[in-house]
Homo-oligomer: A and B are copies of this chain.
Amino acid sequence: MGLFSTVDRKSRPFSRASHEYAVGEPIYHAGAEGLAWRVSQGVVRLDTCSADGNRQFASLAIAGDILGCETLLFGSYTFAASALTRCTLSPWPEGEPPASGDSLLLSFTQAQRRAAELIALRGGQALDRVLGLARLLADRAGCVVLPSRQDIADITDLRFETISRIVKQLERSGLLLPTRIDGVHATRSFRLATIAAVDAGLAH
């Protein structure tokens, strides 16, 4: 599923420098040892790994979210992490021991809100789920690099064929404008139109 760079990854999770991961690249496995991280850019997918090796989507971490902080308590990761888009992680907590528990508390409340958003992405009509995910991943300008159709399907609990149909439908309706972004797959980079812009387009 993933692209592997030729760099030796094994030494990576123990360095204090920030790291970059390519699309689809595994970041760590469940049960492995390593640091906790903060997502600086991009989107990370977390999976629960059952005994028989099956992976099931568990959570999403986007810029600002904390990743794998359970290692600070248990010494190993609970979930498996992989890069849904190109992303960079930096070790957490930053610098010396945090002045207070407030930093942790802030991350906690942030994670709670993120979890509620993910719950919402698995409810309602298929179109709303995909649109919801696109909005969640869009930057302030509305630019989005979507994960693969299969990854979107795993997140929203739909099939990749359904995702494909709906992304195309959003394109045709003008809500998703195909926008070539740097070296990203043409089928995955978009700009989100505002509802107002779409209505104006239809009125024309």
Contact = CB atoms under 8 A, between A and B. Distances in A.
A56 B120 contact: yes
A199 to B, nearest CB: 20
A115 interface: yes
B70 A112 contact: yes
Interface residues of A, number: 34
Contacts of A122: 119, 122-123, 157
Given A48-B116, A122-B157, A108 B106 contact: no
A102 B120 contact: no
B108 A59 contact: no
A70 B72 CA distance: 22
Interface string A55-73: 0111100000000011011
B58 A116 contact: yes
Given A48-B116, A78-B113, 14 more contacts: A58-B115, A58-B116, A59-B116, A73-B105, A74-B109, A78-B109, A78-B112, A101-B101, A104-B108, A111-B111, A115-B118, A122-B122, A122-B123, A124-B157
Tally of this chain's copies: 2
Contacts of A113: 78
Nearest to A74: B109
Contacts of A116: 46, 48, 58-59, 79
A169 interface: no
B59 A119 contact: yes
Contacts of A109: 69-70, 73-74, 78
A79 B116 CA distance: 10
Contacts of A173: none
28 contacts: A48-B116, A56-B120, A56-B123, A57-B119, A57-B123, A58-B115, A58-B119, A59-B115, A59-B116, A59-B119, A69-B109, A70-B112, A72-B105, A73-B102, A73-B105, A73-B106, A73-B109, A78-B109, A98-B101, A101-B104, A104-B104, A104-B105, A108-B108, A111-B115, A112-B115, A115-B115, A122-B122, A122-B157
